[in-house]
Structure 1
């Protein structure tokens, strides 16, 4: 193997890392300034919910198209312009003057985010094939890091009273420049090479659908932690607001940390055993904490839940992206769509169950779903 051949996947790995980090930063930037946008446009809680839905709707709609384009033209050709478009689309919600304009801007921003999401995961599969060892978990960890960077910069901008438009314009310009540079290092497009072991198919196979269900289960848990873990600590366990805020922070920190370890763990344990262990840790850890009904147990349970969920989604995406290389983009798009569905449905399901019973029972739902993922771990076995 020549030195050029070796260097190419290494440079492409850094390029894909830039896309994962930049996509997380863009999302974190928007999330951090939601309070400022709400105040500037005098929005109610219902209107904010509608705005959040617009982002998710734009992402899901784009995913239905982008997978076909990535498979037909190559993920690199799609990823280059999509990254710049996503960065530029930050300007639309940043300078929105009313709710309709904001909704249109967020729909476009969500579409850009969903496009990059599918294309960069598809290209990550291609880069990993060049490495011949697991590297996908690190990409997902960098997405989390990007989210933290975007949220942190957003908090600083809010503290300095920098306007949302100026803030989004600056972040958009920086992201566009970085992603344009990263685009030059992506792997060149390659012609589809369908596996002889996998018959060509139309639509969604049962295997991909099942992987999407696993992504849905994990995303239900991830979405529920963001909205309900602080309320559980404060309203059910009667902690202070400061302690209640730590719950989601502990979950996020452990999930990001163990994603960096995911590539080493999957190389040693294999994807099936890793997902089985992670699902068990998540389900048993959170379930035990809910039974103990104590603030310290609650924080430990949220930490274990983050550890458990950390490596499952990367392995689900890895299994979907490598199931049939000739349609990697389309398969990842379907799995991503169901994953987004879990993020949207999770908080609602927890709320409904909690309304019928109490929040402790509601939060048991993601614990049970994590155990179901553990029982279904064989779905991520490489074909």
Structure 2
């Protein structure tokens, strides 16, 4: 059989890439306007944290339903409505007049966001099967690109002194409209007689699913630590100027984006097990070097290696989850994501709490050890059956 993808598969890959970009753009635009929302409502840091936790709560609760909904309807049927709803749900937080309404709006955004996240990853697995080679990492790379686009939009609107609500509306409405166009390029939902049916009972949390969730958790703790603590480490512990300190996360983020676009080719040549093993070791080595040597140029280089190492791990975990049981791909991805995304929520708090006790360099040893754990757990990604040639 030819390894050349059909035109239908190629079009579907472009469509799924758009949906990943959409979610990244929405997240980036919201993140860029958080300071404006905080200022407009006169919120303290603690009050703002309630709103941010509301997104996480909505996401975790939404995951309980998103996977089963994806498996029952088919990822193609759910993906576009979820994308349109997520795009439009981005807007209300920008206009919320009070903290309770902001919390409500952000909870709903997280709840709807879960369906888009699961559906686009599940459809990405289907497109990957049609391609007969790894392409999942590039989808997550497009999410990273979307984050940069969203941050740029947010920064531009802030520079123009336009409100957060205007920013989010100008972002969400076009994203929703483009989603309606992109839906025609998705792979068709199999006929009910050929599509595996989902049993009426919920899928059980197998030991393998829990392990994959923990691996994703470990990777996302590392991402959260890089977002919140790289600049702080460079500024406070290595006494870098603020402009140089800001390079820490910029270099990490750039390296992660580059790594994700290189990840598919690496997965094809190395296989998911060796790729995750080597990636975990590179991430652990990079962050350990940044902490142990304690010189600014070395630390920045170490953060780049940390980003390169983490780049491919979560995409490989999601791909493995979606292929583990194709009849339950949505639920498997949702279960892994439920555990994994807790890392983004708990990670900064874990690092911050540990830093109070043992100092920030010691606390950052936690994601270093977690990266080594991911390398040690790579064997679990070995596929049960060969789904890719």
TM interval, short-chain normalised: over 0.9
- Any residues of structure 2 matched to 1:18-167 within 5 Å, and which? 18-167=18-167
| Counterparts of 2:383 and 2:299, CA distance in 1 | 35
| Number of the residue aligned with 2:335 | 334
| Number of the residue aligned with 2:180 | 180
Residue pair 2:203, 2:331 contacting (<8 A) in 1 also:
no
Shift of 1:193: 5.3
Residue pair 1:67, 1:329 contacting (<8 A) in 2 also:
yes
| Counterparts of 2:154 and 2:163, CA distance in 1 | 11
| Counterparts of 1:215 and 1:130, CA distance in 2 | 25
Using the size of structure 1 for normalisation, the TM-score is 0.96
| Paired residue total | 377
Shift of 1:21: 0.2
Residue pair 1:141, 1:256 contacting (<8 A) in 2 also:
yes
| Counterparts of 2:202 and 2:19, CA distance in 1 | 30
| Counterparts of 2:373 and 2:172, CA distance in 1 | 40
Shift of 1:78: 0.9
1:185-215 Cα offsets, whole Å, 9 max, x none, are 11111247569xxxx9831111111100000
Shift of 1:121: 0.2
| Counterparts of 1:188 and 1:356, CA distance in 2 | 54
CA RMSD, 1 decimal = 1.6
Residue pair 1:193, 1:325 contacting (<8 A) in 2 also:
no
| Counterparts of 2:202 and 2:151, CA distance in 1 | 41
1:229-271 Cα offsets, whole Å, 9 max, x none, are 1110011111111111110111000000110000000111111
Residue pair 2:119, 2:330 contacting (<8 A) in 1 also:
yes
| Counterparts of 2:147 and 2:229, CA distance in 1 | 20
Q: Secondary structure at the match of 1:203?
A: coil
> Which segment is superposed worse, 207-216 or 159-168?
159-168
| Counterparts of 1:122 and 1:235, CA distance in 2 | 42
Using the size of structure 2 for normalisation, the TM-score is 0.94
| Counterparts of 2:147 and 2:111, CA distance in 1 | 18
| Number of the residue aligned with 2:353 | 352
Q: Secondary structure at the match of 2:246?
A: helix
TM superposition outliers: structure 1 runs of 4+ over 4 Å: 191-195
1:2-34 Cα offsets, whole Å, 9 max, x none, are 9xx922111111110110000100011110000
Q: 1:292 to 1:126 in 2, by over 3 A?
A: same
- Any residues of structure 2 matched to 1:212-231 within 5 Å, and which? 212-231=213-232
| Number of the residue aligned with 2:312 | 311
Q: Secondary structure at the match of 2:364?
A: helix
| Number of the residue aligned with 1:278 | 279
Unaligned runs of 5+ in 2: 385-389
| Counterparts of 1:321 and 1:131, CA distance in 2 | 15
| Number of the residue aligned with 2:249 | 248
Shift of 1:134: 0.6
Residue pair 1:22, 1:146 contacting (<8 A) in 2 also:
yes
1:93-136 Cα offsets, whole Å, 9 max, x none, are 02111111111111111112211001100000111111101110
Shift of 1:380: 1.0
Shift of 1:302: 0.6
Shift of 1:378: 0.6
Shift of 1:55: 1.0
Residue pair 2:153, 2:167 contacting (<8 A) in 1 also:
no
